Structure 1
Amino acid sequence: MANSNYPNHTVLARDLWQCLRWRNANARHPDVLAAQRRERARIRSERQQRWGRPRTIAA
């Protein structure tokens, strides 16, 4: 959708709805998403990271 050129609002809205229908039809199960979040949290805790940024090493 980014960097797209739509001639009018109707064409843009139609494309957005098509994208949403595809996303809803191909959504992952909530249990799978929860398992992936738990795994990422476990890896962060092993690395002693709170979030995605790497820790800075004090000199």
Structure 2
Amino acid sequence: MNPELPKMMDAKTKYLEDTIPTDVFIELNKLSLIARIEEDEERLSELCKKYHLLIKEHL
């Protein structure tokens, strides 16, 4: 697994925690945790894209 993906997710998580609605944040965090446990790089990549879209929506 690409070691940079979890780092990217952590950075986005810190930013989003203060930016998006709590329920959406919690749901994305659950999905992220599952993807990390399964070491599913494709799923982490998809989550990065979802985070990016959410950031755009809430700015």
Shorter-chain TM band = 0.3 to 0.5
Larger RCO of the pair (alpha carbons < 8 Å, separation 6+)? 2
> What is the TM-score normalised by the length of structure 2?
0.38
> What is the TM-score normalised by the length of structure 1?
0.38
